[in-house]
A = this chain, B = another copy of it.
């Protein structure tokens, strides 16, 4: 969808006419009261559910959660997935042409924030004729958007579902983002963000960034269980169980965990835009609704009137249960209606994308409750 009007941004800049990619699932009911907006995290897109005809492995990134008969049942809800401004899956971003210069934006793409994304999403809902959301839903950075919706447009959100998220990043979270960004901007193929016109992409940096990310998404338990100290079979065979080949050429991979991380890094570097990575991690760093309230989250959330479901996972060391509890505490200070589930799951931050009977059960139950609030 093209939006001809400029969007004012938090930075004071604005973005001229822009496009947003989006998908919808299910049908909007007569009084437009069954809409659920799904916000995505760092590397995902508007394609949250379903498959593309004739394309293998084209399942949406939250296809286990959203679809006919699934916890977020598209037989009852009209679900909207939207690719955020600045991302690289069809919405206007650093890879598109800057109408002011006729050149690809690259590093000139304006900095966008969680609040900017929410503003852009609200405009999309305006065009779709959706005044009020039955729910806004997101995990991780997507959860931050859901939270921000309840502050920016309190009268347009009936329920906010915030999964594996946090009210802001810790210094440690920022540190990981910063190392990943440094890997990208110091890649000689970055060319100060204008690599497109050089016909290259900073893949080395993107690979490192993704490897760092993946370590933080997994729990130590899962890494140990899945990979342990296992050597790659080929190496074990060659060395007959002895210590591996005592080499580290750039090709040689020895421990299974290394192979896994390199694979993830290589795959990511093939499809993700480096400038988008920088933009989105900065949006993560900046998000901090308590900032204008002297750090007082309870005061910051006083504006929110939605009902909340918060979910965290016991082994998530990126956004720990303690971070979700901060939001719970601030909402309770404001006597808001909320449910909170702390799921004992082994998968770390990644758990929010995975099947877990209790997690799925909580979501199914909560969305069933929402569905009873509107006529089919």
A206-218 vs B, CB cutoff 8 Å, 1 = contact: the mask equals: 0110011001001
Q: Tell me which residues across on chain B come within 8 A of A243, comparing CB atoms.
A: 10-11, 113, 286, 291
C-alpha spacing A336/B249, complex, angstroms: 41
Chain B hits for A244, CB < 8 A: 286
A182 lies within 8 A of B211 (CB) = yes
List residues of chain B with CB within 8 A of the CB of A248. Answer: 111, 181, 185, 278, 282
Question: How large, as a class, is the contact surface on chain A?
Answer: 35 or more
> Taking the complex as formed, is A227 at the interface, i.e. its CB lies under 8 A from any CB of chain B?
yes
Contacts of A218 in B (CB 8 A): 172
Name the B residues within 8 Å of A8 (CB-CB): none
Q: Of A32-40, A57-65, A254-262, which stretch is located at the interface?
A: A254-262
User: Do most interface residues of chain A lie in helix, strand or loop, or is the interface mixed?
Assistant: helix
Task: Name the distance in Å between A198's Cβ and chain B's nearest Cβ.
Answer: 14
State whether B220 touches A172 (Cβ < 8 A).
yes
Q: Is the CB of B250 within 8 A of A171?
A: no
Q: How far is the CA of A175 from the CA of B207 in the complex (A)?
A: 13
Residues in A226-271 with C-beta less than 8 Å from chain B? 226-229, 243-244, 246-250, 254-258, 261-262, 265
A223 interface neighbour in B175, B183, B258, B317, Cβ under 8 Å: B175
Task: Using CB atoms and an 8 Å cutoff, list the residues of chain A in contact with chain B.
Answer: 10-13, 107, 110-111, 113, 168-172, 174-176, 178-179, 181-183, 185-188, 192, 204, 207-208, 211-212, 215, 218, 220, 223-224, 226-229, 243-244, 246-250, 254-258, 261-262, 265, 278, 282, 285-286, 288, 291, 317
